[in-house]
Chains A and B, each alone.
Chain A
C-alpha cells in the first residue's frame, strides 16, 4: 500500500499513563472502504489506539496522517467533524430521549431563522438514513426499551449523519445475538460499499475473520503482527496475541495445597453468570482467566454477597453457608480485593491509617464503640513496614499515593482481616513492574502460609506465574479448569476464545 491511498496512516504512536506505557510506537493504516480488525489481549493498547485516533487522547509521540495531511484531533468533536467516529462499547445515547432526538442531538434541524425544531425535516432525514441501513425503527420509541443492537444502529446512523469516513467500533458484538450480529455485518458491508473505512475490535475471532480483510494484532502497546483474514488461521492469530516473552515474568511458584476449604456448586446470577462450580484448597492459588466480561468479577461478588445470586450453593470447610453481604463474608474470613481500587476499595480523601483499618473496626473496639488509636497505629505501622508501603506518614491521604502503594494499602486492609480465603481481582492492574513483582511475592507467601487464594487476572503471564490451577471462564460459564502442568498461554487463550466458536448459539 502506498501512502497516497491510505485514508489514515499512523506511525510510531506513543501514549503513556502514570505507570503504564499503553502505546509504544504503534503503526497502523487503513484505506477507504476497508474493514480492518484490531486484536490483542486485554491491556494490549487497542482502546488507547482507537481513542487516540478519535480525539479522546492526545498522543505523546508519533504521527497521524489523515487524508494525506498531518492530523491530531484535539477533541472528539473535532475528529467527528473530520469524519472519524468511535462507537464505544458502552453506547452513548440519552436514555430519556426517543431515537429521533438522540439521532439529531447537537445537530438538530431548525426551522429557518427560528430556534424551533423542524420535526418533519428531521423525520424525513432519519427515515432516509435508516432506510439506507436497511432497518426498521420506531423513531418515537422509548429508548430504554430498545435492544442494544437497535441502539447501536442509532449510533451508526448518527455517524452517517456526520458523513463518517472512518468508523471505529469497539466490541460492537459483545452483547448482540447471532441474528443481530448478522444485521450489523450487513450494515458494515453497506458502509464499506460507499467507501467508509471500518476498524472492528472484537474478541470473537470467528467474527473478526468473517467481516475483516486483515487483522492487526497489538501486544503490550506494540505491533505484534498482521494476519490476512482470507489466508491466515486462528492459530496464527493466537500466537501473535500471546507471543510474549515469558522470561520477564516471575518464576512459577511451587506449592503444596492442603484440604479443601471452599466448594462452589452451580452459582448463577444476573447479568450472566451461569452454573459456576469449582473448589479451592488451603494454600492453593486458583487463577481465574478469561476475557473482560467473562463473568469472573460477578462470580466473586456473588461469593461475598455483594452481587445478586439466583442459584447455587457455597460450602466452607464442607458446611453450607449463606453469605448475603460483604459483612458476612468478612465474618467467614473471606476477603475480596476489588478490581478498581479508587472506586471500590479506597476512601480517597481519608488517610492511610483510616483506609487500612476500615475492615477491622471490630477488633479495634474498646468500651463497645471507641476505636483504639494505639492499636490502629500499631497495625498500620506494621503493614506499612512489612508490605513496604511508601508513605510520608501513616496520616498521608491515600489520594496522594502512587497506584502501586494505593494497591498495597488495599491489600493491607484485607490482610488485616486475617482472611482464610483471599479473592484478588486484577491485583496488579495499572501498577509498575517493581511493585507488581512485590505483590506477586506477597501473594505467594500468603499461599505458603495456608491462605486459599483466587486471583482474577486478565494478564496471562500473571495467571501463569501464580496459579496452581487455572479456571477459564467465558460468557459466564466455566469453560475449563487447567492443571498447572498443562497451563500455557496457548491452552488458556484457546479455552477462552475457541470454546465460544463451538457454542451452540454461534452455529
Chain B
C-alpha cells in the first residue's frame, strides 16, 4: 500500500483501473500512460526510417543524433516547468545566445573556464529573473514578457558583439560537448542528469506538486497558502538556467559563440514539450514525455537526411506532428 503512493506519478495519469494483479497491472499501467502512445509513435518512425535507410541505426549516426537531441531536450526540460504552470517562455533561444556569448567572452579574456560557465549561466538566470519578476509581480502576460526578452537579449548580443562570433575558445573547454563518457557523448549525459533531477523535483517535492497545482487551478493554490508569485519567479529562472546551460555547451560543440545561436529554439522546445503530451494550458506533462518529444523531432530531422530527402521538408513534417500530437491528446482526454 505504501509502495503505491511512492510510485512517481504525475497528476495527469489516468484514474487507476480496477486492480489487476502482478505483471498485468504493470503492463496496464504502462499502456495507459499518456507517454505510451507517443513512445509507440517514436518506435514506428524509427522502424520506418531504418527500413528505408539501414544506416540510420549505425553506431556513429546514433552517437551524433543523440548529441543533437540532447540540446533541444535540455532547453525543453526548462520550458516544461514554465508550461506546467500555464505560462510560456519565448526567450529561451536568445538567452542561450547571451549565456554562450558571456561564457565565451570570459574565456577569451582568460577567465578560468569553470568560472566562465558560472558567469554565463548567471547571465541567463538574471534574464530569467527579469522574466519572472515581470510575470509574477507586475502581472505581465508570459507571452508578452518573454517576447520582449527574446528581442532584448538577442539585441544585446548583436549589439555588444556587432555580430562577430567569438572563436577564442580554450582547448580545455572543448571536451564538454565533444568528449565521450562510456561511449556516450557528454551533452547526452548532462541532459540525462538534468532530466532525472527535473523528474525528481516534479514528482517528489512540494515545489513540483505546487507547480502542477498552479497549472490546474492557480486561484485554489493561492488560497491554499502557496506563495505562487515566488514559484513563478523560480520557474522562469529555471527555464532560463536550462537554456543558458544549453547555450554554453553549444559553444563547446561549435568551438565558438555565434550571435544567432538558439534562433528558433523557443519553438523547438515548445514543440518537443507539446509532442510529448504537455498541455499548453498547464497542469499536465512529464519529463519522459518531453524526452520522447525531443527524440521524435531529432529523429525525423536526421532521418530525412539519411533518406536523402531535402531537410527543407523538416519543419513541415514537425508541424503536422505537433498538430497530430495535440489532437491525440484531446481525443484521449475526451475518451
Contact residues of A with B, CB < 8 Å? 304, 306, 325-327, 329-331, 336, 338, 343-351, 353-354, 358-359, 361-362, 364-365, 369-371, 373-374, 376-377, 392-393, 395-397, 400, 413, 417
Q: What are 5 A-B pairs with beta-carbon distances under 8 A? A: A354-B212, A358-B224, A371-B209, A395-B4, A395-B16
- Residues A348 and B217 in contact, CB atoms below 8 Å apart: yes
- Residues A330 and B225 in contact, CB atoms below 8 Å apart: yes
7 cross-chain pairs, A with B, having the tightest CB-CB distances, nearest first: A330-B225, A347-B216, A361-B206, A373-B5, A359-B224, A350-B11, A377-B5
| The one of B2, B15, B210, B212 that contacts A395, using a Cβ cutoff of 8 Å | B15
- Residues B16 and A370 in contact, CB atoms below 8 Å apart: no
Q: Is B284 an interface residue (CB 8 A)?
A: yes
Given that A369-B207, A374-B2 are known contacts, is A306 also in contact with B223, CB under 8 Å in the complex? yes
Q: Is B227 an interface residue (CB 8 A)?
A: yes
Q: Contacts of A347 on B, CB cut-off 8 Å?
A: 11, 212-213, 216-217, 220-221, 283
Interface residues on B, range: 20 to 34
Q: Is B219 an interface residue (CB 8 A)?
A: yes
- Residues A346 and B5 in contact, CB atoms below 8 Å apart: no
Given that A347-B283, A349-B12, A373-B2 are known contacts, is A413 also in contact with B213, CB under 8 Å in the complex? no
- Smallest CB-CB separation from B14: which chain A residue? A397
Given that A347-B216, A354-B209, A361-B210 are known contacts, is A377 also in contact with B204, CB under 8 Å in the complex? no
Given that A344-B223, A359-B224 are known contacts, is A400 also in contact with B207, CB under 8 Å in the complex? no
Given that A369-B205, A374-B2, A377-B2 are known contacts, is A349 also in contact with B221, CB under 8 Å in the complex? no
- Smallest CB-CB separation from B219: which chain A residue? A344
Q: How far is the CA of A393 from the CA of B16 in the complex (A)?
A: 8
- Smallest CB-CB separation from B15: which chain A residue? A397
Q: Is B6 an interface residue (CB 8 A)?
A: yes
| The one of A329, A346, A364, A396 that contacts B217, using a Cβ cutoff of 8 Å | A346
- Residues A361 and B209 in contact, CB atoms below 8 Å apart: yes
Given that A349-B283, A370-B204 are known contacts, is A358 also in contact with B12, CB under 8 Å in the complex? no
- Smallest CB-CB separation from B333: which chain A residue? A349
Q: Is B27 an interface residue (CB 8 A)?
A: no
Q: Contacts of B284 on A, CB cut-off 8 Å?
A: 349
Q: Is B226 an interface residue (CB 8 A)?
A: yes
B251 to chain A, nearest CB (A): 32
- Residues A350 and B216 in contact, CB atoms below 8 Å apart: yes
- Smallest CB-CB separation from A357: which chain B residue? B209
- Residues A306 and B222 in contact, CB atoms below 8 Å apart: yes
Q: How far is the CA of A393 from the CA of B14 in the complex (A)?
A: 13
Q: Is B1 an interface residue (CB 8 A)?
A: yes
B3 to chain A, nearest CB (A): 9
Given that A347-B11, A395-B16, A396-B15 are known contacts, is A326 also in contact with B216, CB under 8 Å in the complex? no
Given that A325-B227, A344-B219, A413-B224 are known contacts, is A350 also in contact with B205, CB under 8 Å in the complex? no
Q: Contacts of B217 on A, CB cut-off 8 Å?
A: 343, 346-348
What secondary structure prevails in chain B residues at the interface with A? helix
| The one of A336, A365, A397 that contacts B223, using a Cβ cutoff of 8 Å | A336
Q: How far is the CA of A49 from the CA of B16 in the complex (A)?
A: 41
Q: How far is the CA of A166 from the CA of B330 in the complex (A)?
A: 42
Q: How far is the CA of A369 from the CA of B231 in the complex (A)?
A: 14
Q: How far is the CA of A306 from the CA of B227 in the complex (A)?
A: 12
Q: Contacts of B204 on A, CB cut-off 8 Å?
A: 370-371
B253 to chain A, nearest CB (A): 33
Q: How far is the CA of A5 from the CA of B2 in the complex (A)?
A: 71
- Residues A329 and B205 in contact, CB atoms below 8 Å apart: no
- Smallest CB-CB separation from B227: which chain A residue? A327
Q: Contacts of A358 on B, CB cut-off 8 Å?
A: 209-210, 213, 220-221, 224, 226
Q: Contacts of B224 on A, CB cut-off 8 Å?
A: 326, 330, 358-359, 413
Given that A354-B213, A373-B6 are known contacts, is A326 also in contact with B222, CB under 8 Å in the complex? yes
Given that A358-B226, A396-B15 are known contacts, is A344 also in contact with B210, CB under 8 Å in the complex? no
Given that A330-B225, A369-B206 are known contacts, is A376 also in contact with B5, CB under 8 Å in the complex? yes
Q: Of residues 30 to 75 in B, which have CB atoms within 8 Å of A's CB atoms?
A: none
- Residues B220 and A353 in contact, CB atoms below 8 Å apart: no
Q: Contacts of B216 on A, CB cut-off 8 Å?
A: 347-350
- Residues B213 and A350 in contact, CB atoms below 8 Å apart: yes
B9 to chain A, nearest CB (A): 8
B217-249 vs A, Cβ < 8 Å mask (1 yes, 0 no)? 101111111110000000000000000000000
A496 to chain B, nearest CB (A): 27
Q: Contacts of B12 on A, CB cut-off 8 Å?
A: 349
- Residues A400 and B5 in contact, CB atoms below 8 Å apart: no
Q: Contacts of B16 on A, CB cut-off 8 Å?
A: 393, 395-396
Q: Contacts of A359 on B, CB cut-off 8 Å?
A: 224-225
| The one of A351, A362, A417 that contacts B11, using a Cβ cutoff of 8 Å | A351
**Beyond A306-B223, A330-B225, A396-B15: 16 further Cβ-contacts under 8 Å?**
A304-B223, A325-B227, A326-B224, A326-B225, A343-B219, A344-B223, A348-B216, A349-B284, A350-B11, A359-B225, A361-B226, A369-B206, A373-B5, A374-B6, A392-B15, A417-B225
